[in-house]
Amino acid sequence: MKKILVSLSLVLIMFRTYADEGMWLPMLLGQQVYNDMVKKGLKLKPEQLYSINNASLKDAIVIFGGGCTGEIVSNQGLIFTNHHCGYGAIAKASSVENNYLRDGFWAADKSKEIQTSLSVQFLNRIEDVTQKIEAGLGSLTGAERNAKMQQIQSDLIKEATGGNEFKRAVVASMFKGNQYFLYVYDVHKDIRFVGTPPESIGKYGGDTDNWEWPRHTGDFSVFRVYTTKDGQPANYDVANVPMTPKYFLPVSIKPLKDGDYSMIYGYPGSTNRYEISDGVKLSTDINNPSLVKLRDMRLKYMYAEMIKDPAVKLQLASSYAGIANYWKFFDGETKQLLKYDVYGNKKKFENEFNNWAKGKAEYENIVADYAKNYEAWRPYAKHRQYLNEGIMGSPLLAFAGSWMSLENALNKKDAKAEDIEKAVKAAERARANFLENENKKSDQKILAHALSLFMTDVDPAQQPKEFYTDLFKSSSIEENPFKKYAADVFENTMAFDDAKWKAFTAKPTVEALQNDPAYKTATAFINNYNKNYASKFAAFNSKNNELGKAYLKGIMEMDPVKAKMMYPDANFTMRVSYGNVKSYYPKDAVKYDIVCTMKGVMDKYVKDDYEFDLPQKFIDLYNAKDFGRYADPNYKDLVVNFITTNDITGGNSGSPVINGKGELIGLAFDGNYEALSHKLAFDKDLNRTICVDVRYVLWCIEKLGGAKHIVDELNVVSK
């Protein structure tokens, strides 16, 4: 951390009223929040949590890959993160012969650690740029304002990174655009794969147990950051050395009990806690059910191929897991939003707001304007979901759709040869990537089914009519027109045909593109949307942003003292959440304990099952009660997972769970089903974070994996 420029006076942090809700900005905790942390059990000084000039806890926290968190746990750049965060890299490093995903892997020494294409980012500095942005925007509105905003942000980013590929900058909007921070990161690109338990441990329980407590998943994997000899971030090079970090977390193997302090540092991706009631209704009525239905369809076809062939399983595993994760999430979100009447509760609050806003020109129409805005967009929402999750849910069509930039380059007046060449090169890279991940069998079925669902479910007035007329012309009704059509597309597109592709890239023309059946199909839907509905969506969004900013400002004014929890919504910037290890009551008469143990893992075991199988060695070690120093004296067993009251969301995956002394006790990896409405409304009684116990992590490395040398790198504390 070099230098930080934040004007504290501008910060809109207020009192918190509810237990454990809040994703706080660690550099701006404020006395109130810090005092509350201490009351809950924190033993560290504020400057140990976050310091500009000295090494502190926050220096051990990284953005892992594109959307996860990791933590540094040794003085040699060792990183712990979730198994599901390392999943893509593990699958990529695997082959049918050396199947690390299935069998696990531990590098015997550093020379055996495996190169990946992952990156890891350390937060370098933060600057409050609200005034710069406000000054630049002046009194602009609408599209002009959006364009200017983009310009200002890209200038700020350029200035901050100076084009250095090992720096990344981003402007983050806080409190719905009432404040802006510039974040600058150091990007490390030599990240090596150190080890993982087998998938039967790392993803134990699969999608059946995903988003659920009780839970028995060993959701962790291990990587390492390498730098140049003088400690600089770099691309992969054999000559690079393990990073000497500014700070790393000690690891605690002390037993846990109900009520223990727990703090989670990391990068929560997105929440929308001040979403308006109409937004909740749009989710439960249209957006979520559409997404769930379409993903359900896609997953079914992918799964059918994956269980047949280990090579296909490796190929599709990562993409399948990502689709399945949010398929179950959005299904559960709908159920919980309805169960707890989140819509009704938001309505009640909006009525209070309206009473307060009466006669205040700035605020009195916000809620009504929101309703109008949602009403205007609502008829098109399903169309948008079916395009994104259905039609573009076919990997072939998503790839073919990306050729539109090629068509744009070709169509440009006085198109420069070098620009066309650039676009062709980009398409070639995209093709290589596409083919590597493509399973034609499942994709062809997805395409046929998506085309049919779009026709049956989306408002006929909004469909690309000519496309469907042509489709029915080209095949008879008996032979299932959608299947026949999809088969033709797969047969004739240049995407799979090296000779056709080569001929096209040697002499790219607009006609050739437009004659390709995959491109034709993709653009029929994309152009229809772009021409008729994209501007409606843009207007809906920009109006929502405008209203959101004013609404939040109003809420703060309405009750400045006990205003709701005034932490900004999650936006993939570093946050700290604090709470306790705590049991809960999921339903009448049922109490869920704070931990799950190895006994529970064994109870769920089903030999050769896709989700609940176990390695024989695991069973043997359990039967021998060989838990080493990691057994919990209270449970006389190995604790596998535990729960806390922390407020986290997707993006926090892999985040360190830290005790009152600043020691690592686990890794956050999931949320519980009863609180899946958490993006839109935090439930103070039911919300729990599910964590893998670090004692189980160490046991899996040392006893199950036989990689004690990795445990020896850590600073393990037992007192």
Catalytically active residues are 84, 219, 653
Residue whose entry in the numeric block shows the structure tokens 């809700």: 21
Residue 107 CB partners (closer than 8 Å, separation 6+): 113, 114, 192, 193, 194, 195, 707
Question: Among residues 20, 36, 275, 670, which is the contact residue for ligand ARG, using CB under 6 A?
Answer: 670
Six-digit token pair at 708?
A: 């004690």
Residues 474-513 that bind ligand ARG (CB under 6 A): none
Q: Would you say 443 or 670 has its CB closer to ligand ARG?
A: 670
Torsion sign over Cα 470, 472, 476, 481: positive
Q: Would you say 209 or 516 has its CB closer to ligand ARG?
A: 209
Q: What is the DSSP string of 145-210?
A: HHHHHHHHHHHHHHHHHTT-TTEEEEEEEETTTTEEEEEEEEEE--EEEEEE--HHHHTTTHHHHT
Question: Among residues 94, 210, 262, 659, which is the contact residue for ligand ARG, using CB under 6 A?
Answer: 210
Question: 211, 236 in Cβ contact below 8 A?
Answer: no
Q: How far is the CB of 270 from ligand ARG (least distance, A)?
A: 12
> Stretches 1-9, 142-150, 202-210, 311-319: which one binds ligand ARG (CB under 6 A)?
202-210
Distances in Å between the Cα of 713 and the Cα atoms of 59, 241, 551 are 18, 16, 51
Residue whose entry in the numeric block shows the structure tokens 């083919």: 435
Is 207 a residue that touches ligand ARG (CB under 6 A)? yes
Helix axes 465-473, 481-492, angle to 10 degrees: 90
> Stretches 23-31, 317-325, 400-408, 561-569: which one binds ligand ARG (CB under 6 A)?
317-325
Residue whose entry in the numeric block shows the structure tokens 């064994």: 602
Is 325 a residue that touches ligand ARG (CB under 6 A)? yes
Can you tell me the distance from the alpha carbon of 45 to that of 271, in angstroms, rounded to the nearest whole number? 29
Residues 634-663 that bind ligand ARG (CB under 6 A): 650, 653
Is 67 a residue that touches ligand ARG (CB under 6 A)? no
Q: How far is the CB of 494 from ligand ARG (least distance, A)?
A: 34
Is 295 a residue that touches ligand ARG (CB under 6 A)? no
Print the binding letters for residues 366-385 with ligand ARG: x by CB under 6 A, - otherwise: --------------------
Can you tell me the distance from the alpha carbon of 176 to that of 551, in angstroms, rounded to the nearest whole number? 9
Q: Would you say 324 or 427 has its CB closer to ligand ARG?
A: 324
Pairing of strands 261-266, 61-64: unpaired
Question: Among residues 175, 180, 213, 669, which is the contact residue for ligand ARG, using CB under 6 A?
Answer: 669
> Stretches 229-237, 321-329, 469-477, 677-685: which one binds ligand ARG (CB under 6 A)?
321-329
Residues 29-58 that bind ligand ARG (CB under 6 A): none
Instruction: Give the three-state DSSP class for 641.
Output: strand
Question: Among residues 203, 224, 678, 688, which is the contact residue for ligand ARG, using CB under 6 A?
Answer: 203
Is 199 a residue that touches ligand ARG (CB under 6 A)? no
- Give the helix ranges, DSSP H, for 245-286: 277-282
Is 298 a residue that touches ligand ARG (CB under 6 A)? no
Question: 114, 192 in Cβ contact below 8 A?
Answer: yes
Q: What is the largest CA-CA distance in the chain?
A: 76
Q: How far is the CB of 241 from ligand ARG (least distance, A)?
A: 32
- Total residues at the site for ligand ARG (CB under 6 A)? 13
From the number of C-beta atoms within 10 Å of its C-beta (0-12, 13-18, 19+), residue 254 rates as middle
Print the binding letters for residues 76-115 with ligand ARG: x by CB under 6 A, - otherwise: --------x-------------------------------
Is 206 a residue that touches ligand ARG (CB under 6 A)? yes
Can you tell me the distance from the alpha carbon of 506 to that of 409, in angstroms, rounded to the nearest whole number? 15
Binding footprint of ligand ARG on the chain (CB under 6 A): 84, 203, 206-207, 210-211, 321, 324-325, 650, 653, 669-670
